[in-house]
Structure 1
Amino acid sequence: MNSISTKNAIVYFNSEVYTEINKYIETTKPSKIFILVDTNTHDACLPNFLGQIESGNIEIEVMEMPNGEEHKTIDICTGVWEALSEYNADRKSLLINLGGGVVTDLGGFVASTYMRGISYINVPTSLLAMVDASVGGKTGVDLGALKNQIGVINEGEMVAIDTSFLDTLPSKEMVSGFAEMLKHGLIFDKNYWNTLTHLEALDISDLDQLIYDSVVIKNKVVTSDPTEQGLRKILNFGHTLGHAIESYFLENADKTPLLHGEAIAIGMLLEAYLSTKTCGLSNEELEIITNGILKTFTKVKITENDQKAIINLLKYDKKNSHGVVKFVLLEAIGQPKIDCVVSNELITEAFINYNN
């Protein structure tokens, strides 16, 4: 599987991963290597990873953070910064982020800000991180329950995707990552969408190629618009409402928190409906999208009170401008439209349609 060149880095796959990491270490000779893991990847992924890393005489320190979106916070960043300082990390140190989207987002942010920036490598271990979180240089943490409010765009030295780590992943996490792959089809490639929604015709061995195809799609978008001034916004389809739903379910004790992909699946269903009302998406394609997503994702009950609170959270979305909420919607499958404005009444109508 060929590597993929991004704007400032390279994405390597499987057989190339450890060769390239070891080559990078030998060439750049970092003063020290730090590996950030969470409680899950510490046990499930770290032993295999360390067994294939050739560091020579360079010291390796492992730093562990709690797993879960609720720990993607500045407080955890502070703990990692302090650990780096305590272990005498300098500007020639290397941070390797071995984990899912929380680890790669937070670790990338820590590296980008420690001593005004040290080198980092992302080694994504979840499907979500492989196809989305580790590619494109977005780093950051949540502000309370508000998703990714604090961060910078700064690519690491490389992304190293070893799909064997997926063997350690619970099925629920695999499903969560699949939502981002579906999104890539909806915003960029109808044929890819069709392939993903007919997986019964595929073998599990096809997954590597599908992951590769998703990375190619995301890379094409972010390479043409690295700082999200225009085209890169299309990657937010399903995320305007999806992030608000994820935040609401995360901060309410009487709700069961949703995984990122579960919330984004709901967001895509809602925003597909909005697309039929404002962008000309046909009812036929709405039905195709709805059926395609509900093949994999179970609907979640969202009450009228929930809806009001979720709509209120939209004001914090990062795409907003001058107090106006901006959506990414679809004119057709594979044809997104950015900067769409939608009334709260229409959003409520979308929720009613979803519940029915």
Structure 2
Amino acid sequence: MQNKINITFGKSAFSKLPKKFSEKKYSRVFILVDNNTNKFCLSDFISITGFDKAEILIMEAGEENKHLQTCENLWKNLSNKGADRNSVLINLGGGVVTDLGGFVACTFKRGIDFYNIPTTLLAMVDASVGGKTGIDLGSLKNQIGVIEEPKQVIIDPMWLETLPKNEIRSGFAEMLKHGIISSKKYWQTLKELTDLRVSTLKEFIKPSVKIKKEVVLKDPREKNLRKILNFGHTLGHAIESYFLINLNKNKLLHGEAIVIGMILESYLSIHCAGLNIEVAKDIKTTFLKSFKKIEFSSDDKKEIVKLLKHDKKNIGDKINFVLISSIGKPKIDVQVPEDLFEDAFNFYLSD
């Protein structure tokens, strides 16, 4: 992957796409949407861009559809509709669409160009930025994929008006994470927000994208620095996977699971990275103002801990965590004694 990220903000970038595509001499234009963006976003996107002759590919919405069967269906669709190596794929949607769509593009005929148009707050500040494409392996998050930058990411907050409140909160969780790992000032600003409406949060999209972009440019392949973006994700991904496969549980959005992971890993940071306990309590209080507490049984906790062995940051049989010594000071590749996991859940669940 080239060390280059092309991110553009604002609606005017959409109207420039036809000229750009003409200059690149793309043979066919394909647009990937899910049920939601097909209903709420596609007609506006076509109206702005004039891509009324583009072929539309539709996938089922949701993390549970981010798997190989969906990819196979899309590859067959592309092939049946005459896609060649000079075709282009536009991914119009949230993180599942941009992750899976990017992977489909990277692997179809050994790679066609793709563009990401993120339509959720989470995708704008996280999923569509940094070139990570991929799918889940069963319930295990993002086990299959490649790192490849889209030709362009176009971010416009207008799409956020179509989202329910829980999706907005899910994206806000990743923005708070950016503050925790990189900037005490940014964390302080975000944690004091009481109005989580789009009109308020859209002002913080660029700062969050800038934080992630600067990290990715320094370490595009996640060999070192980029690992800090995984704070909260080791336990958070295990929790998200567990709730996805357990039929007795309500599915958690990515941001909802990562919030729990960040609270748990803040507790682990007290014991393994020297974090002040009052800072960990402040992190917990901040998140629980916007996210309701989820209950965990003893069996739940055991199954979640078992899933940790599949985390992508692991080396050999060692489970590697990203922890923090203070706000803005992360530590990577930290091993955590297993007996602390129960204490971390107790910290999260306590009043």
Same fold at TM > 0.5: yes
Is the deviation greater in 238-247 or in 193-202?
Answer: 193-202
Distance 1:215 1:154 in 2: 17
Partner of 1:87: 81
1:299 and 2:301 matched: no
- Does 2:35 match 1:39? yes
- Mapped to 1, the partners of 2:34 and 2:343 lie a distance apart of 40
TM-score (norm 2): 0.97
CA–CA separation in structure 2 for the residues paired with 1:62 and 1:55: 10
> 1:133 aligned to 104, 114, 127, which one?
127
| Equivalent of residue 11 in structure 1, options 4, 7, 10 | 7
Rounded to whole Å, the distance in 1 between the matches of 2:18 and 2:185 is: 37
Equivalent residue runs for 1:312-323 within 5 Å: 312-323=306-317
The counterpart of 1:218, out of the listed 209, 212, 215, is 212
The aligned residue for residue 334 of structure 2 is: 340
Distance 1:201 1:111 in 2: 38
Matched with 2:344 is 350
Is this contact kept in 2: 1:185–1:193, CA < 8 A?
yes
Q: State the partner residue of 2:56.
A: 62
Say if 1:17 and 1:162, in contact at 8 Å, map to a contact too.
no
Once the two structures are superposed, the pairs formed by residues 89-128 of structure 1 within 5 Å of their partners are 89-128=83-122
Q: Is the contact between residue 119 and residue 157 of structure 1 (CA under 8 Å) also seen in structure 2?
A: yes
Q: CA deviation at 1:204?
A: 5.2
The question of 1:24 aligning with 2:20 is answered yes
CA offset digits 1:331-352 (Å, max 9, x no partner): 0011000000001101111012
Do residues 273 (structure 1) and 267 (structure 2) align?
A: yes
Moved more, 297-306 or 286-295: 286-295
> Once the two structures are aligned, what percentage of the paired residues are identical?
53
Cα distance, 1:294 vs structure 2: 1.1
Secondary structure of 1:349 counterpart? helix
Structure 1 ranges of 4+ moved more than 3 A: 200-206
- Offset of residue 53 of structure 1: 1.1
Which secondary structure does the structure 2 equivalent of 1:136 belong to?
coil
- 1:195-210 alignment to 2 at 5 Å? 195-200=189-194, 205-210=199-204
Code of the aligned partner of 2:187:
W
Specify whether residues 277 and 215 from structure 1 end up closer, same or farther in structure 2 by C-alpha distance, changes over 3 A only: same
CA contact (8 A) 1:26 1:55 kept: no
Q: Distance in 1 between matches of 2:186 and 2:228?
A: 16
Choose from 150, 171, 178 the match for 1:177: 171
Q: Is the 8 A contact 1:137 1:154 kept in 2?
A: yes
Whether the 8 Å CA contact 1:224–1:231 is kept in 2: the answer is: yes
Provide the secondary structure at the position in 1 that maps to 2:11: helix
| 1:229 has 2:223 as partner | yes
Taking structure 1 as reference, are residues 274 and 96 closer, same or farther at Cα in structure 2, changes over 3 Å only? same
1:269 aligned partner, one-letter code: I
**Long gaps (5+) in structure 1:** 1-5
Q: Which amino acid aligns with 1:306?
A: D
The alpha-carbon deviation at position 203 of structure 1 amounts to 8.1
Distance 1:120 1:201, change over 3 A: closer
- Deviation at residue 162 of structure 1 after TM alignment: 1.5
1:201 Cα deviation after fit: 7.6
**Residue 53 in structure 1 maps to residue 41 in structure 2:** no
Q: Deviations over 1:172-231 (max 9, x none)?
A: 111111111111110011111111111138985442220111100000011100000000
CA distance in structure 2 between the partners assigned to 1:19 and 1:329 by the alignment: 43
User: After alignment, is 11-20 or 66-75 more displaced?
Assistant: 11-20
Aligned residue for 2:162? 168
| Alignment RMSD | 1.5
8 Å contact kept, 2:5–2:213? no
Distance, in Å, in 2 between the alignment partners of 1:342 and 1:200 is 34
Q: 1:200 to 1:343 in 2, by over 3 A?
A: same
Instruction: Report the counterpart of residue 249 of structure 2 in structure 1.
Output: 255
Normalising by structure 1, we get a TM-score of 0.95
Partner of 1:295, secondary structure, is helix
Secondary structure of the residue aligned to 2:194 is: helix
CA–CA separation in structure 2 for the residues paired with 1:171 and 1:161: 19
How many angstroms apart in 1 are the aligned matches of 2:16 and 2:129? Answer: 17
- Counterpart check, 1:244 vs 2:255: no
Q: Is the 8 A contact 2:5 2:217 kept in 1?
A: no
Following the alignment from structure 2 to structure 1, what is the Cα–Cα distance between the partners of residues 312 and 185?
30
What secondary structure does 2:267 align onto? helix
Q: Tell me the secondary structure at the aligned position of residue 199 of structure 1.
A: coil
Conservation of the 8 A alpha-carbon contact between 1:101 and 1:124: yes
- 1:48/1:55 CA distance change after superposition, 3 Å: closer
* Pairs aligned (count): 349
